Amino acid sequence: MKSRKKDILRVVNLGLKVDGKPILQNVNLYIQEGETYALFGPNGSGKSSFLSAIVGNPIYQINSGRIIFKGKDVTTLPTDERIKLGMGIAFQTPPKVSGVKLIDVLRHCARIGNRSEEDIYRFAEKLKMDEFLHRNINQGFSGGEVKRSELLQLMLLNRDFIMLDEPDSGVDLENIDLVGKSIRELLERDKSQDEREKSGLIITHTGKILDYVDADYGVILYKGRIACVGDPEDILREVSENGYEGCINKCLREFPNLNNLK
CATH code of the domain containing 43: 3.40.50.300
Instruction: Give me the pLDDT at residue 2, please.
Output: 44
Q: How far apart are CA 185 and CA 179, in angstroms?
A: 10
What was the pLDDT predicted at 261? 38
Distance, CA of 237 to chain centre: 22
Tell me the whole-structure pTM to 2 decimals: 0.89
Residue 211 lies in a domain: yes
- What is the full per-residue pLDDT of the chain (262 aa) written as tens digits? 445 678 899 999 999 999 889 999 999 999 999 999 999 999 989 999 999 999 999 999 999 999 999 999 999 999 999 999 999 999 888 877 888 999 999 999 999 999 999 999 999 999 999 999 999 988 888 888 899 999 999 999 999 999 999 998 877 877 888 899 999 999 986 545 555 689 999 999 888 899 999 999 999 999 999 999 999 999 999 999 999 999 998 888 876 655 443 3
Domain contains 21:
yes
Considering its fold, how many domains does the chain have in total?
A: 1
Domain that holds residue 107: 7-258
166/164 Cα distance (integer angstroms): 6
| 162 phi, psi to nearest 5 deg | -110, 130
Residue 1 domain flag: no
In a domain, residue 219? The reply is yes
Distance CA(186)–CA(158), nearest Å, equals 8
69 occurs within a structural domain:
yes
The answer to whether position 159 is within a domain reads yes
- Is 146 part of a structural domain of the chain? yes
Alpha-carbon torsion angle 220, 221, 227, 231, nearest 10: 20
pLDDT at 174: 78
